[in-house]
Structure 1
Amino acid sequence: MRTYNLTVFDQTGEKLLDESFTAGTDEEAKEVGQARLSEEGFNDHTHRCVSPEAKLILFHR
């Protein structure tokens, strides 16, 4: 399993969510990240999810 980081920001740049989770693949991490964003109601906020190599898996501005 690999550790991914999901971060959500408000319009001023303040972090609203900053958490790590594990997933087996980048595609699985994308699904987990999208589900987490939906749970918290952050789909329309600026967010990013990065792999352990700092590859962007999810990004919305």
Structure 2
Amino acid sequence: MKTYALTVFAQTGEKLLDESFTANNDDEAKEIGKARLEDEGYSEHTHRCVTADAKLILFHR
């Protein structure tokens, strides 16, 4: 399992969500990240999901 970080930002730059989770691979992490964003109502906010070695797998601006 790999660790991923999901971060959501307000337009002011304030972090609205900053959490980590584990997944088997990047594709699974992308789906978990998308689901978490939907659950919290942040899918249209600026967000990113990165691997532990800083590979960007999900981004929205």
TM-score class, shorter? over 0.9
Match of 2:11 in 1: 11
Q: Partner amino acid for 1:27?
A: D
Corresponding residue SS for 1:11: coil
CA displacement, residues 10-50 of structure 1 (integer Å, 9 cap, x when unaligned): 00000000000000100000000000000000010000000
For 1:26 and 1:52, the matched residues in 2 are separated by: 11
* Identical columns (%): 74
Structure 1 partner of 2:26: 26
SS of equivalent to 2:17: strand
Tell me the CA shift for residue 52 of structure 1.
1.2
Partner of 2:42, secondary structure, is coil
RMSD of aligned residue pairs (Cα, Å): 0.4
Q: Which runs of 5+ in 1 are unaligned?
A: none
**Alignment partner, residue 37 of structure 2:** 37
Structure 2: gaps spanning 5 or more residues = none
Equivalent residue, structure 1, for 2:59: 59
Structure 1 runs of 4+ with >6 Å offset = none
Count of matched residue positions in the alignment of Structure 1 and Structure 2 = 61
State the distance in 1 between where 2:17 and 2:52 align.
Answer: 18
